Structure 1
Amino acid sequence: MTDQKKFTGKLSGTRILIVGGSTGLGYGVAEGVIEEGAKEVIISSSQESRIHGAIASLEKSYPSAKGKIKGYVCDLGTEDTLEQNVKDLLSKVGVVDHLVYTAGDKLKTTPLDQTDFAQLKKAGMVRFFAPWLIVRYAFSGKNIAPGPASSVILTTGSISQRPRPNWSIPAGYAGGLHAMTRNFALELAPIRVNLISPGMVETTLWDHIPPETQQKMFSETGKRVWTGKVGQTVDVTEGYLMLMKDHNITGSVVSSNGGSIYV
C-alpha cells in the first residue's frame, strides 16, 4: 500500500504561468511548483536570453521536468505595445490552473519634489498596469480554468504597509495592488485572487546595485528585522505555494517581511 497524498498532491498535473519567472521570486516559484508535481510550467520574461537560461537551469536541477517547461518573451515595460503584448502572451499560453505575477523592474526612488508625471506613469507599467491588463485579458479570454482550485497571485511590496522617504511613487502602486486584488477576487469568483507582500528579499532585483553596496544593505536590514536576516527566495516562495493549494483563501494578502514593517 502507498500513502495517501492529501497535501503534497494538490498541484500535481496543473499548468502554471509565471509572469516574471526567469529570475528572482518567479524563478523560485517555478522551482516550487515543479517539486509539487506541476504538469507544465510556463515562464515569461522581457528577454529571450533569460528565458533560455532559466529553462536550462531548471532542467539541470530537475531532470524529470525536461520538456515540461516553456517560455515566452513578453515586454511589459513599453506603453505603446503593452496591451498587445499581453494578448499575444495569453494566446500562446492557453488555459492554466494558476497565474502568478512576479514581474518587476529596477526600483527607483526620488524625492517627491523632483518627480513628474512621465516618471509616475513609467513606474507603473510593470508594477501596476501590466498585472491589471494580464488579469483582465486572462479573465475575458478564459485563460484560467474555472473554479476555486484555480488562482491568480499578484505581488506587491512591504512599502505598501510601511512608508519610507522618497518612495511615494512605488508606494502608491504597491498599495493599489491591495485594492486591485480584493476587487479582482470579487469579479473573478469562484477563481481565487490573492496577493503576496514581501519585504526585502535577496534576489537579482538588486543586481543593478554594486555588490559591496548590496551586501551592506542586506547586512543592515538583517540587523534591524526580527528574524535577524534578509528574506530568502526559498522561504518567500512558500507563500505562493500555499495560496495555490488553499482552495479556501481569496482576496487576501500574505506578508513575508521578517517583521520589517514594524521596525
Structure 2
Amino acid sequence: MASLSGKTVLVVGGSSGIGYGVAKASLLSCAAKVTIGSSSQAKIESALVRIKNDIAASGQTVEGNLSGEVVDARDSASVKALLERVGEVDHLVWTSGDDFFDVRFWGAFTAAQVAKIRPGGSITLTVGSVVVKPRKGWSLAAGLMGAVDSLTRGLAVDLAPIRVNVISPGAVKTELWDPMPPEVRNKIFEDSAKTLLVQHVAEPDEIAEAYLFCMKCQYITGQRIEVDGGAKYV
C-alpha cells in the first residue's frame, strides 16, 4: 500500500486552514519531514505548536520532523529562495491563495518551475469550487481558477513523470470565517449544510485526505479532484 513513510513534504500555506490540515495529516501518515511555508514567523511558530498539540491530543505519536519557513508567496524571488532553502522534496502542496492571481497562479507556477521533486513525487495545487459552479458576479474568480486548473494539466505534461494534480474544495470551516460574529458564521454553516448532499460543511482534516491521496497514488496526474460535499449536484 502506498505510504508517505520516509517522505519529505512541503506545504506552502501550511500555517492555517486546509494547508494546516495537510501538514498535520502528512505527519500522521508517517512523513519523515514536513515543512510549512507561511508569511510570518509568528504564524509558523503558532502552527507548529498547534499541530504538535493536536497530534498529542489524538493519542497518536509521530516520528517525523516538523519545521517552518517564511515565504512571501506573492514574490517570485521569495518563492524561489524558499525552494532553494528546502532543497529536494518528495511532495509539494500549494494551498496558499489570499491574493488570487499573484499567489494562486504565479506563485504556484514559480514553485512548480523551481521545485526539486524526487522521482515518484508530486505537486498538488488548489482551486475553489467556483471553477465548476460559478456564482453570479464571480466571473473573474472563475477565470482565475480555470487558469490554475489548466496550468495543472500543462504542468503534468511538462514535468512528467512528476505528477501534478489540483484539489477543488467546497465550503470548509477555516480561519477565513473568523472575522464574522460566531452566530453569523454558525448560521451560514447550518444553512450551507442543508444544501449539501453530505449534510455538513467540511473540516480541514476532511479535505486533507484528498491531498494525501494525490501524494500517495502513483497513477494519477493532470486531474482535478472535487471535494465539495456534493455541492455541484444541488
- TM-score range normalised by the length of the shorter chain: over 0.9
Provide the rounded CA distance (Å) in 2 between the counterparts of 1:128 and 1:209: 28
Instruction: Write the distance in 1 (CA, Å) between the matches of 2:150 and 2:89.
Output: 24
1:177 aligned residue: 148
Q: Is 2:22 the counterpart of 1:49?
A: no
Structure 1: tracts of 5 or more residues without a match: 1-5, 106-121
Question: May I ask how many residue pairs the two structures share in their alignment?
Answer: 230
Using the aligned pairs only, state the percent identity. Answer: 41
Q: Which runs of 5+ in 2 are unaligned?
A: none
Q: TM-score, normalised by structure 1?
A: 0.83
Corresponding residue for 1:72?
Answer: 69
1:209-259 deviation line (CA, Å, top 9, x unaligned):
333322122111111111111122121111111111110100011111011
- Deviation, 1:50, is 0.9
Question: What do you get for the CA RMSD once the two structures are aligned?
Answer: 1.6
Which whole-Å CA distance do the structure 2 matches of 1:144 and 1:103 have between them? 19
1:79-121 deviations in Å (ceiling 9; x for gaps): xxx111111111111000000011122xxxxxxxxxxxxxxxx
1:220 and 2:191 matched:
yes
4+ residue segments displaced more than 6 Å? none
Write the distance in 2 (CA, Å) between the matches of 1:203 and 1:153.
19
Contact 1:156/1:177, CA 8 A, preserved across alignment = yes
Does 2:94 match 1:123?
no
The answer on whether the counterparts of 1:123 and 1:169 sit within 8 Å (CA) in structure 2 is: no
Among candidates 59, 80, 84, match of residue 91 of structure 1: 84
Q: Aligned-pair distance for 1:207?
A: 2.1
Q: How does 1:196-235 map to 2 (within 5 A)?
A: 196-235=167-206
TM-score in terms of structure 2 length: 0.93
Indicate the structure with greater strand content.
2
**d(CA) in 2 for partners of 1:53, 1:206:** 18
CA–CA distance in 2 between the matches of 1:19 and 1:185? 19
The residue that corresponds to 1:21 in the other structure is: 14
Q: Is the 8 A contact 1:48 1:73 kept in 2?
A: yes
**1:145 maps onto 2:122 in alignment:** no
Correspondence for 2:97: 104
What secondary structure, in the 3-state scheme, does the structure 2 residue paired with 1:152 have? strand
| Counterpart for residue 32 of structure 1 | 25
* 1:157 aligned onto 2:128: yes
Larger Rg: 1
